[in-house]
Structure 1
């Protein structure tokens, strides 16, 4: 878990919980064109909406993930990774997302989105207790990036890490989720912080509260016209239409203003919004009801309407209370999306382990399946740490989660990373039994249901626990973790 100093908001409204499964919101309202309400503003801007810095960080994340998987010489690769994680230099070309086929993207450089931005400055500074050595969020990412640069295509087969997945999923939480719910939607909503009757900064076209809310929205990574798109549409836009039957049709859905290109600032789907939509899409396929993507977006849109309606005056107590309630709804749904991801990838790891067991028992070659296992485990671990990166201290829940998953996957020789020495080397020791670790994955899923109420439950294996416990021999670790 992340070592925290904040207290937990102990209760959440019924509305906050209900938004997870309420009926999808249909309509064509967009998160755009809110007027300038700053008193005395005389500049050229005609709208107060601004969150380009957050979009730049989504693109930095996507580019970093792509670079981790590249096959460059170690020193060159490390320098490029650091340029996208902690650098602020001008001239950085976008590595991902880039135009592909019929899906045309407007921007080609980070500067075209926002200059002087990086990820390290916005990565949660708490000590990450889910990994050894007591590193802070930025320290841990730098450590992983150094390891990624020294690994072929960013995959460490010896210790069991797929760094593109591990870093990506952690940043989705430690940057986007953390900045939104532990900053802008928490302290940022205090009456005395960035008040609405003053410009955010002198000369800006937006008030303090307008920009605070916009920045939180930007970290969610949803297109401004989300309410005119289905979960499937959002999913395919995030994939640049590559998984759709008709890429041109996906391009048309993304290109809301019809100018022939997708504007990354307002028309693209990024990490947090992608996963919200992916689980909504999975729910529809399974005949379930889920509304993470539209629910979170609607809460952001409704909050922005409240702020705009204040017309540049201080927010009234009732207006601010309404924003706080909407922020709680956003936090709950967003946190549950991360828990859904932990649930899903615990199931993926379990499936991989079963397949690996079959291959090994048949004296087959496990290499291909082992790489899939490392990919899914790294996604699981990254999301488990992302889940712990919000405003709340998850306490015993985080401790259980970290213990069940461990610091590294169980390897085929039954060893597992248990520590990192002073020189930065991984230390492996005997781990859980294979069957026992499979039990751990099911217990991770049950923990997500019990503590966060996940409902879509992709790759659900919770009904298999009894059989897995029997296969594990009812060992103490399997029973008590």
Structure 2
């Protein structure tokens, strides 16, 4: 168990008034004085800024880009694992070599990664053709010594909003008891995000050693065989759950609860200094660097607004400097950033215009411009732009949760036909649940605690499968419909979201 940072003296102020944080931010920016608006409007088209102390770039978020690579790659590794034939200890060690990455880890088996391991992230140009990664092929090429996920997951680096993980009501994941994963837990105290992740790791490791391919009925049609160690007989896709948990408990949590925060630290986040170098010799101030780090967790290429939504959603890259390669640090759309445009496109296809991708990127660009220029009384508007970015980030999480509610219902409806696939049922449900856990990781969340609890009561901890009985399936479909309606009401989405 990794050491928890004690932040008991810092109080998190929770906004429980629905839409208040985003609406307040938009109103603040609308009523900003002319000199603030002029500087915002003079922001560059791309996320590029020159240092106040030299002629070099002041933008730096290498560690965040590195973590995006780890989040991508651990999912790829998990989906490669089959049931049986592996050593569970080795598999668990390999999984933790991503989670607690160390470039000097002893890679005594091929699955364990260190600085000399080849990363799995790929890049495609606008024509769909593969392009080389500019930084190289190995993890240490991106950053040395590199960063890890374990030290930055919510509960380890910043305090959980409600002191414990919410949204997973059962103490068990498969045969793993969450109370026994965390040695710090006493009695029936609940887990932290790391404990849930470790339970997922242990489950897939056990399946990789002792699991056997299992059969799933599809009505009167051919029985389906499932051999992936990351798929459970209860219908959990552990690879999706782990990746989406990291998107929320690492990326979103770090941006919202740390780097863009004003209530979790008197000197950190946007309360940090903006007149002197962050450290001797650095080209950026502390506030500039924190804003950059939040942008790194967003995951967008620096010229994100130059892309079409189709290009972003298709995970294509623009070779901005025409060197024939794509830089992980500036030209690759990673993490959740592709889902912003994806949901913009899906909503537009059903008559609802929203610009989650553009609103978020513009807020980051304008906020960084204000920090760089530092006009009179600028901080109030930087905070507003940060909350605008976070509000649109949260709305993206809500929109994509609805998308996977719909996908899960479609699989339930398809049971007994050729369109039904158990692995897709597990995948869609797990993406839905994993994304929905994210709402608890922001101190300025639009969703209230009561709404979060209601949502997860409806989503439950596993899908309703037809083997559990038709009545169970019918009831769960009704609950998913209510969950979608709840999200619509919180985020002002249209009833046509049932088609997303």
Partner of 1:338: 397
Residues 105 and 459 of structure 1: CA distance in aligned 2, closer, same or farther (over 3 Å)? farther
Once the two structures are superposed, what CA deviation does each residue of 1:394-443 show, in whole Å capped at 9, x if it has no partner? 3111111111111111233328xxxxxxxxxxxxxxx9721010001101
Residues 78 and 432 of structure 1: CA distance in aligned 2, closer, same or farther (over 3 Å)? farther
1:400 to 444, 449, 454: 454
Report matched runs for 1:148-227 at 5 Å.
148-151=204-207, 152-187=227-262, 192-193=267-268, 194-227=272-305
Report matched runs for 1:236-275 at 5 Å.
236=314, 238=315, 250=316, 253-275=317-339
Give the CA deviation at 1:448. 0.5
Residues 231 and 407 of structure 1: CA distance in aligned 2, closer, same or farther (over 3 Å)? same
Give the CA deviation at 1:157. 3.2
Partner of 1:29: 45
Give the CA deviation at 1:460. 3.2
Residues 80 and 184 of structure 1: CA distance in aligned 2, closer, same or farther (over 3 Å)? same
Does structure 1 conserve the Cα–Cα contact (< 8 Å) formed by 2:66 and 2:146? no
Is 1:80 paired with 2:94? Answer: yes
What is the alpha-carbon distance in structure 2 between the residues aligned to residue 109 and residue 394 of structure 1? 42
Partner of 2:149: 119
Is 1:375 paired with 2:427? Answer: yes
Once the two structures are superposed, what CA deviation does each residue of 1:209-235 show, in whole Å capped at 9, x if it has no partner? 110110111110000011211111111
Give the CA deviation at 1:96. 2.6
1:110 to 125, 139, 148: 139
Does structure 1 conserve the Cα–Cα contact (< 8 Å) formed by 2:167 and 2:456? yes
What is the alpha-carbon distance in structure 2 between the residues aligned to residue 175 and residue 447 of structure 1? 25
Point out the structure with the larger helix share: 1
Does structure 1 conserve the Cα–Cα contact (< 8 Å) formed by 2:44 and 2:365? no
2:80 to 70, 76, 79: 70
User: Alpha carbon RMSD of aligned pairs, Å?
Assistant: 2.8
What is the alpha-carbon distance in structure 2 between the residues aligned to residue 147 and residue 56 of structure 1? 26
**Structure 1 segments unaligned to the other structure (5+ residues):** 20-24, 239-249, 360-364, 416-430, 462-481
Give the total of aligned pairs: 405
Residues 319 and 456 of structure 1: CA distance in aligned 2, closer, same or farther (over 3 Å)? farther
Give the CA deviation at 1:256. 0.8
2:63 to 41, 44, 53: 53
Partner of 1:137: 193
Once the two structures are superposed, what CA deviation does each residue of 1:124-172 show, in whole Å capped at 9, x if it has no partner? 1132222233210112112112212233534333222101111111111
Is 1:442 paired with 2:494? Answer: no
Q: What SS does the aligned partner of 1:103 have? A: strand
When structure 1 is superposed on structure 2, of 147-156 and 170-179 the one drifting more is: 147-156
Does structure 2 conserve the Cα–Cα contact (< 8 Å) formed by 1:51 and 1:218? yes
Give the alignment's TM-score, normalised by structure 2.
0.75
Report matched runs for 1:264-413 at 5 Å.
264-310=328-374, 316=376, 318-356=377-415, 358-359=416-417, 369-391=421-443, 392=445, 394-413=448-467
Residues 456 and 196 of structure 1: CA distance in aligned 2, closer, same or farther (over 3 Å)? farther
Residues 15 and 262 of structure 1: CA distance in aligned 2, closer, same or farther (over 3 Å)? farther
What is the alpha-carbon distance in structure 1 between the residues aligned to residue 453 and residue 285 of structure 2? 41
Once the two structures are superposed, what CA deviation does each residue of 1:78-116 show, in whole Å capped at 9, x if it has no partner? 222111111222415344313575333223222222233
Residues 408 and 18 of structure 1: CA distance in aligned 2, closer, same or farther (over 3 Å)? farther
Does structure 2 conserve the Cα–Cα contact (< 8 Å) formed by 1:58 and 1:270? yes
What is the alpha-carbon distance in structure 2 between the residues aligned to residue 213 and residue 412 of structure 1? 47
Give the CA deviation at 1:191. 7.3
What is the alpha-carbon distance in structure 2 between the residues aligned to residue 292 and residue 15 of structure 1? 17
Give the CA deviation at 1:287. 4.2
Does structure 2 conserve the Cα–Cα contact (< 8 Å) formed by 1:189 and 1:324? no
Does structure 1 conserve the Cα–Cα contact (< 8 Å) formed by 2:103 and 2:140? no
Does structure 1 conserve the Cα–Cα contact (< 8 Å) formed by 2:131 and 2:324? no
Residues 331 and 58 of structure 1: CA distance in aligned 2, closer, same or farther (over 3 Å)? same
Q: What SS does the aligned partner of 2:274 have? A: coil
What is the alpha-carbon distance in structure 2 between the residues aligned to residue 209 and residue 157 of structure 1? 44
Residues 191 and 341 of structure 1: CA distance in aligned 2, closer, same or farther (over 3 Å)? same
What is the alpha-carbon distance in structure 1 between the residues aligned to residue 254 and residue 425 of structure 2? 30
Once the two structures are superposed, what CA deviation does each residue of 1:34-71 show, in whole Å capped at 9, x if it has no partner? 12214xx7xxx711110111000000000011011112
Q: What SS does the aligned partner of 1:112 have? A: helix
When structure 1 is superposed on structure 2, of 333-342 and 87-96 the one drifting more is: 87-96
**Structure 2 segments unaligned to the other structure (5+ residues):** 1-9, 29-40, 105-114, 172-189, 208-226
Does structure 2 conserve the Cα–Cα contact (< 8 Å) formed by 1:280 and 1:292? yes
Is 1:12 paired with 2:21? Answer: yes
Once the two structures are superposed, what CA deviation does each residue of 1:162-193 show, in whole Å capped at 9, x if it has no partner? 01111111111111111001111113897744
Give the alignment's TM-score, normalised by structure 1.
0.78
